Amino acid sequence: MASANRFVLVAASLLALVPASARADEEPPLTSPADPTAAATLAETLFQDGKRLLEQGAFVEACTKLAQSDALDPAIGTLGLLAACHEQEGRTATAWREYGETARRAEAVNDERGAFARQRASALEPELPRLLVRLPKGAEGIAVFRNGVRLSADELGVAQPIDPGTYEIVARLPGKPEFRATVTAEPRKVAEVEVPDWNRPAPVPTPKKEPARLDAGTSNLLTSKGLGPRKVGAIVAGGVGLTGFSIAAAFALSAGSRNAASVSIQESCTTASCERGRELREDALRSATVANVAFGIGAAGAVTALVLALLPERAETPKPASLLGFHYEVAPWADRTGGGALLIGKF
């Protein structure tokens, strides 16, 4: 911000040395007095007010004063200072155009301030946001508006410099629905808007396929491959059994290793080493307990898988157990010394 303020002061001192020309901008101009002398006096007053406000950082008010001054009495310094004001206000594309116009007018009368204006325009150009509005082929009769202002034919189909900000693009064609789009112009980027072809049929939306649910999709897939609910249960139970056996084997090996180390230490141990032997013994017992529990779970899973695999699949809807005359349950069990499965039934 400090560098921006320094630039304002430099621009003010450089461009305001001589009253100079500018072009009328978007700010509302004052009604020019009939007397040229009165118009020039009012323009000078507005110029000085604008310069003072610019140095104070009141950019909006300063730009308005300078634009009104230039409209009354165009001058190179006024337009150049107005460009500097718009640059500080953040309206970079407006400032870029005004710097270019300042340079052309200064060069037409061999004013050295034209070089400074060219320099500022060149520095701003890479930073400019741009807007590209694309029209469909055969777009005769389409009227395109940007924030309510109609764009000329030269401004369509080409990336035009534009001030940063948000813009509403409206396209109208007699007898067709109005097209609206909102875009945001950012420095160094091109905001694109493509006006649709009203003569082209609207694309038919493709129906979205809902993802298969786990329960229904899995059931259908397994059924189509000849696997009924019991066979699926047998596969799951078998996996549980295999996992249990694997864990049991790992902890059993650990328990045996620790127990052997404990026995070796305690055969010829001192007070300190005997304590270590007892710790290894306790670790071996804990590992053995985990191995027994895991073996029990594995055995339960294996038995459950075997029972489910041997039972036949039923094509009809399952009936209550009381009507079938037979009811069974498979229940795994485990304790510190082992485990297994119970097959409980009644007739």
Give pLDDT, residue 250: 76
Burial letters for 48-84: b for 16+ Cβ neighbours within 10 Å, e otherwise?
A: ebbbebbeeeebeebbbbbbbbbbbbbbbbbbbbbbb
Q: What is the CATH number of domain 130-194?
A: 2.60.40
pLDDT in tens, 309-323: 666 666 545 544 444
Q: Which segment, 65-69, 243-247, 249-253, 336-340, is predicted with the most confidence on average?
A: 65-69
Most confident of 29-33, 209-213, 301-305, 334-338: 301-305
pLDDT digits 0-9 by tens, 212-249: 555 555 545 444 455 667 666 667 766 766 776 677 67
User: Considering only the top CATH level, what class is 2-127?
Assistant: mainly alpha
What are 257-293's pLDDT values in tens digits? 777 766 776 666 766 667 766 776 777 678 778 767 7
Whether this model's pTM surpasses 0.75: no
DSSP 37-85: HHHHHHHHHHHHHHHHHHHTT-HHHHHHHHHHHHHHS--HHHHHHHHHH
pLDDT attached to residue 329: 57
CA 10 and chain centroid, separation: 41
Name the residue ranges covered by the structural domains of the chain: 2-127, 130-194, 227-346
Task: Encode pLDDT of 94-136 as tens digits.
Answer: 999 999 999 999 999 999 999 999 999 999 999 999 999 999 8
pLDDT confidence of residue 293 = 74
154: pLDDT strictly greater than 70: yes
